[in-house]
Structure 1
Amino acid sequence: MDSTDLAFFAAVAHGGSITRAAARLGTVPSNVTQRIQRLEQQLGVPLFYRHGRGMTLSHAGERLLPYASTVAHTLAEAGKAMQAGAEPSGPLLVGAMETTAALRLPDMLVRYAMDFPEVDLILRTGTSQQMRDAVLARSLDAALVAASVIDLAAQPELLAELVGVEELVLVTAPWVSLFGPASIWSSLQDTKLIVFRDGCSYRALLESVMRRRGTARLRMMELGSLDAILGCVRAGIGVSLLPRALVEPLLVDAGLASLAMHVLPDGAGRVETLCVRRRDGFVSAALAAFLQRVRQQFDHSVLVTPALPLTESPLA
């Protein structure tokens, strides 16, 4: 089998038609058709079912696709390795949770950009599941995610490195704390949970905590940005679960009239942050420098700030 034939086969499989595959590959449809026909003749089996809406994989094609994808990715990684220089340069795509990007990365990214101006760095944010899946799909070189979405036994393609532990706190409007620790859970029974979209590890933890505390019905408000979540919490529309290191400066800067935070009991708010990448991915000089800066930024430390008794209430 020819690697180019396999690449054409994978393009048709993903595009669903000869025409879309040709456009993606930058060639003419007749060339794609010839390549697919030659591959089918070599293997002695049909790889696609042809129909009016395009082409779908046959059973044999479904079996071949993972191998074709592996070959394509291996060739792409080999090309990166041959083109890479000793100094950080070229494209670098990394991902992070929205809160991690806001809390831990701004200063680091500024220093990285100044030190390595030849690197074209793109930072994408989203839920931990989205970032993990993007790394698995090779859309990102690395990502910072919550440990709860990583199962190395089920995802052996990934390498994961612990970079820190965040403490999450329940964030409410300031008057919620007036109920006191003994009754706050009952006061939240019918409140809305202000959260990121499904797949957010902090959202999953908040849902779990509320259920364990006897909340029968969870009411969700999904928002796409941290600022929007904080605004709704300030207005008393609902509550959220956010890193303490992110919330505490807001209490100091804006005063007690803005927000209140509540420490979860029994260490339930402590979550690990991991840096994940593919095991078979090429580590360019740009990626190596980024990973080193991440380690320095987090310093493998427990990212838990000291207690501020005047601005928090413990949840019993």
Structure 2
Amino acid sequence: MDVIDLKVVDAVARHGSMNKAAAELNTVQSNVSTRIRSLEDELGVLLFQRSAKGVQITPAGRRVLPYAAKLSKLLSDASAAARDDGKPSGVLEIGTLETTLALRLPLLIARFAKAYPEVRPLIRTGTTHSLIKDVIDCKLEGAFVAGPVNHPELQVETVFHEELVLVTSRAVHSLEALKAIAQLKTVVFRVGCSYRQRLDGLLASIGTLAPEPLEFGSIEAIIGCASAGVGVTLLPRGVVANAWKDGLVAVHEIPQAFSQVETVFIRRIDGHFSSALTIFLDSVHADSEARSLNVRRLA
């Protein structure tokens, strides 16, 4: 098995087609088929099931894929490290929670893009679970997720401290009032969101449980449902501040065990830390420290 073998496996898995993989790799289908067949003979297992509709990766093939991604990333990092002379350039591809993007990053990204026009930021949103997986699988250079995170392949640094609050319709006046709501529902992001887990814990602590939650893909939809009385949710205070100020929702403080959360930045320990990412994170830390200083002055 060599580097080219792994690249071929990755391309065929992504396209589900030998022909399309060959086009991407700038070769002919027979070369791709021969490489896959030779690799299967070498390993003694089938990596793909062939059919008239194309190819489908087998469990053995899926176990190989992460190594293809890691090796591809390692080669890319080596090339980037050789070219990186300290001047930020190229693509900066990072992930973030929807709430962090809404609350913390817009101005920082705008300032960074203006200061370093040769860098193209690509921002992907997801849940803590999905973003951790994408960083481990070398699909992202790093990501902002909810802490704590403990993984042997990841470097973790705290960047923000958030206070979570319970968000409900204005008809709900206290946490205790939730017990009187028949068929209480929660409105949350999809599975893998750490705020969702905290909300379940909070409700359990006051002696009430919610049925299967309603899942949404945007902050606006979640706040809108909470405002309309469809259900309750847990969000950072800053995210919901405008909706609360406008009288659209009620905001309830919750016990510290559930309210205090850290946003951390994660990246692979063995990855190349580009100049673009280094400078962007420096600006993130500076902004976070400035906010904390302002809070202490107002206290």
**TM bracket, shorter-chain basis:** 0.7 to 0.9
Deviates more, 1:132-141 or 1:242-251: 242-251
Asked if 1:90 is matched to 2:90, the reply is yes
Query: For 1:49-76, what per-residue CA distance to the aligned partner results, in whole angstroms no more than 9, with x for missing partners?
Result: 6643555668986776555544333222
TM-score by length of 1: 0.81
Q: 2:166 maps to which residue?
A: 170
Matches within 5 A, 1:217-236: 217-236=210-229
Q: 2:75 maps to which residue?
A: 75
Q: 1:193 maps to which residue?
A: 186
Task: Give the 3-state SS of the residue equivalent to 1:299 in structure 2.
Answer: helix
Cα distance in structure 1, aligned partners of 2:101 and 2:256: 27
Cα distance in structure 2, aligned partners of 1:96 and 1:303: 24
CA drift at 1:286: 1.0
TM-score by length of 2: 0.85
Cα distance in structure 2, aligned partners of 1:17 and 1:30: 12
Deviates more, 1:111-120 or 1:1-10: 1-10
CA drift at 1:301: 7.5
- Residues 167 and 45 from structure 1, CA distance in 2 versus in 1: closer, same or farther, beyond 3 angstroms? same
Query: For 1:171-225, what per-residue CA distance to the aligned partner results, in whole angstroms no more than 9, with x for missing partners?
Result: 1122311xx56x3232345322121112111111111211232224425222221
- Residues 165 and 45 from structure 1, CA distance in 2 versus in 1: closer, same or farther, beyond 3 angstroms? same
2:260 pairs, out of 264, 267, 270, with: 270
CA drift at 1:266: 4.1
Deviates more, 1:18-27 or 1:54-63: 54-63
Q: 1:157 maps to which residue?
A: 153
Deviates more, 1:263-272 or 1:110-119: 263-272
CA drift at 1:45: 4.1
Contact 1:245 1:305 survives alignment (8 Å): no
Contact 2:10 2:68 survives alignment (8 Å): yes
CA drift at 1:13: 5.0
Cα distance in structure 2, aligned partners of 1:124 and 1:63: 25
Contact 2:127 2:193 survives alignment (8 Å): yes
Contact 2:8 2:32 survives alignment (8 Å): yes
Contact 1:173 1:234 survives alignment (8 Å): yes
2:197 pairs, out of 196, 200, 204, with: 204
Q: 1:312 maps to which residue?
A: none
Structure 2 gaps of 5+ residues are: none
Matches within 5 A, 1:32-111: 32-37=32-37, 39=39, 43=42, 45=44, 48=47, 51-52=50-51, 67-111=67-111
Contact 2:184 2:210 survives alignment (8 Å): no
Contact 1:197 1:222 survives alignment (8 Å): yes
- Residues 113 and 161 from structure 1, CA distance in 2 versus in 1: closer, same or farther, beyond 3 angstroms? same
Cα distance in structure 1, aligned partners of 2:27 and 2:78: 23
Cα distance in structure 2, aligned partners of 1:139 and 1:157: 14
Partner amino acid, structure 2, of 1:32:
V
Cα distance in structure 2, aligned partners of 1:34 and 1:303: 63
Cα distance in structure 2, aligned partners of 1:226 and 1:291: 24
Contact 2:185 2:210 survives alignment (8 Å): no
- Residues 219 and 38 from structure 1, CA distance in 2 versus in 1: closer, same or farther, beyond 3 angstroms? closer
Matches within 5 A, 1:107-146: 107-146=107-146
Cα distance in structure 2, aligned partners of 1:305 and 1:228: 30
The Cα RMSD (Å) is 3.0
In the alignment of these two chains, the number of paired residues is: 295
Structure 1 gaps of 5+ residues are: 307-316
CA drift at 1:300: 9.5
Asked if 1:279 is matched to 2:269, the reply is yes
Query: For 1:27-57, what per-residue CA distance to the aligned partner results, in whole angstroms no more than 9, with x for missing partners?
Result: 211222343455567x474554664355566
Contact 1:251 1:260 survives alignment (8 Å): yes
Contact 1:166 1:303 survives alignment (8 Å): no
Q: How many percent of aligned residue pairs carry the same amino acid?
A: 40
Partner amino acid, structure 1, of 2:87:
E
- Residues 69 and 207 from structure 1, CA distance in 2 versus in 1: closer, same or farther, beyond 3 angstroms? same
Cα distance in structure 2, aligned partners of 1:245 and 1:50: 50
Task: Give the 3-state SS of the residue equivalent to 1:130 in structure 2.
Answer: helix
Q: 1:314 maps to which residue?
A: none
CA drift at 1:249: 4.3
